[in-house]
């Protein structure tokens, strides 16, 4: 790319010192994958190895995009889920930095370099997340607190009918594009910069979560191992969002609730907490049925 090219990203305040392996897990992708790969070319001035993990049964689109952008394709042979696919794509990496990202993202110019510069400033952090922008420019709450029982219950029950409820507000921690970097309980797996050393130390994603909650679980395990999760609002990506949900809303809703039950029953695993586990299962099943009815 020529230095005179007006589309070239502006160099970051701190140049990255090493390259990245970017892992993108896909399942029957559409045009959004081309947008992802094309915008990634403007996200950093450092070397990038793009690895596309195709969990689907037809990898035609994936291979076409890979050929145009010099990416490598990994075909596991079965659907490993998001965390399992990300682990497969990260396997064998030698770069100090891993990026795990959804295919329905568009990178802002220089955004990955901004994340890398933040990583240089926060040596005790294992994961970094950008500001995830919705299509209308609003900020998706991608940096959240680890939910307490009352906070999680309040959010689950009232988030849709009373979005400004105090439990959801505390869980999401109102976010703006501007503002200081801060430590969060966990960061959305839609776009994560991971210190490979930290990621490997905790064993990567827990593959028992097929979809959803694998990012919350990873953030919690990183924290328990002594690593911080840092939200970097100066780095921005636009999340088109919902490409999988639109095609398979019922399956996605059920998968989300199964993972929620798995995570919460593991957290409250002691024998005397069995009433909590029962309440969690009953409450989440009721919520799932309501959401499935609304999706019809």
* 3-class secondary structure, 15: coil
**pLDDT value at position 9?**
38
pLDDT at 30 over 90: yes
Confidence of residue 190 (pLDDT cuts 50, 70, 90): very high
Q: Within 13 A of 268's CA, how many CA atoms are on the CB side?
A: 19
Lowest mean pLDDT, pick from 71-80, 180-189, 233-242: 233-242
Domain co-membership, 107 together with 215: yes
Domain co-membership, 208 together with 286: no
The residue-averaged pLDDT of 277-290 equals 78
pLDDT at 221 over 50: yes
**pLDDT value at position 245?**
52
Cβ contacts of 254 within 8 Å, gap of 6 or more = 288, 292
**pLDDT value at position 97?**
97
pLDDT tens-digit profile of 32-86? 999 999 999 999 999 999 999 999 999 999 999 999 999 999 999 999 999 999 9
Lowest mean pLDDT, pick from 105-109, 131-135, 247-251: 247-251
Q: Within 13 A of 129's CA, how many CA atoms are on the CB side?
A: 29
pLDDT at 273 over 70: yes
Cβ contacts of 278 within 8 Å, gap of 6 or more = none
Within-domain flag for 10 = no
Within-domain flag for 3 = no
Within-domain flag for 125 = yes
The percent of residues above 70 in pLDDT, for the chain, comes to: 80
- The answer to whether the CB of 168 falls within 8 A of the CB of 155 is yes
Domain co-membership, 24 together with 66: yes
Domain co-membership, 215 together with 160: no
Domain co-membership, 263 together with 275: yes
Q: Give the integer Cα–Cα distance in Å for 17 and 212.
A: 32
DSSP at 271: G
Q: Give the integer Cα–Cα distance in Å for 6 and 25.
A: 31
Within-domain flag for 13 = no
Domain co-membership, 142 together with 33: yes
**pLDDT value at position 162?**
53
Range of the domain at 276: 249-295
**pLDDT value at position 266?**
83
Q: Which helix (H) or strand (E) holds 127?
A: strand 125-133
Domain co-membership, 124 together with 232: yes
Rg of the chain on CA atoms, in Å? 19
Within-domain flag for 203 = yes
Domain co-membership, 81 together with 114: yes
Q: Give the integer Cα–Cα distance in Å for 195 and 115.
A: 11
Domain co-membership, 114 together with 198: yes
Which of 116, 132, 119 shows the shortest CA–CA distance to 20? 116
DSSP at 272: G
Within-domain flag for 204 = yes
Within-domain flag for 216 = yes
**pLDDT value at position 14?**
42
**pLDDT value at position 211?**
87
Give the β-pairing of 139-140 and 228-239.
Answer: unpaired
Domain co-membership, 140 together with 225: yes
Helices (H), 10-148: 32-40, 60-69, 81-90, 111-121
Confidence of residue 101 (pLDDT cuts 50, 70, 90): very high
CATH code of the domain containing 32? 3.90.550.60
pLDDT at 10 over 70: no
**pLDDT value at position 258?**
85
Within-domain flag for 162 = yes
The residue-averaged pLDDT of 252-258 equals 79
**pLDDT value at position 252?**
76
Domain total in the chain:
3
Q: Provide the mean pLDDT of the chain.
A: 84
Q: Give the integer Cα–Cα distance in Å for 88 and 69.
A: 20
Domain co-membership, 166 together with 194: no
Please tell me the pTM assigned to this model: 0.82
User: Which residue, 156, 175, 194, sits at the end of a domain?
Assistant: 175
**How big is the chain, counted in residues?**
296
Domain co-membership, 125 together with 163: no
DSSP at 31: T
């Amino acid at each position: 790319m020529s230095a005179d090219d007006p589309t070239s990203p502006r160099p970051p305040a701190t140049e990255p010192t090493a390259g990245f392996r970017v892992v993108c897990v896909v399942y029957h992708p559409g045009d959004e994958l081309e947008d992802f790969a094309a915008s990634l070319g403007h996200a950093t001035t450092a070397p990038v190895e793009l690895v596309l993990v195709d969990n689907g049964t037809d990898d035609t689109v994936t291979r076409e995009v890979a050929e145009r952008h010099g990416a490598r394709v990994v075909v596991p042979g079965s659907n490993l889920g998001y965390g399992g696919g990300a682990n497969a794509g990260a396997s064998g990496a030698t770069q100090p930095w891993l990026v795990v990202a959804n295919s329905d993202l568009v990178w802002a110019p220089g955004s990955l370099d901004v994340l890398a510069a933040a990583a240089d400033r926060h040596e005790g952090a294992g994961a970094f997340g950008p500001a995830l922008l919705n299509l209308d420019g609003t900020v998706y709450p991608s940096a959240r607190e680890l939910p307490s029982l009352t906070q999680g219950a309040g959010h689950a029950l009232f988030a849709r009918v009373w979005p400004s409820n105090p439990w959801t507000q505390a869980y999401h921690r109102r976010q703006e594009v501007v503002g200081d970097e801060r430590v969060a309980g966990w960061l959305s797996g839609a776009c994560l910069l991971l210190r490979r050393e930290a990621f490997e130390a905790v064993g990567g994603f827990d593959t028992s979560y097929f979809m959803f909650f694998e990012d919350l679980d990873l953030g919690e395990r990183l924290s328990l191992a002594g690593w911080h999760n840092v939200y970097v609002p100066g780095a921005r990506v636009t999340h088109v969002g919902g490409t999988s949900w639109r095609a398979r809303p019922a399956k996605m809703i059920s998968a989300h609730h199964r993972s929620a039950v798995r995570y919460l029953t593991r957290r409250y695993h002691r024998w005397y907490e069995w009433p909590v586990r029962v309440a969690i299962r009953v409450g989440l099943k009721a919520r799932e049925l309501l959401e499935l009815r609304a999706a019809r």
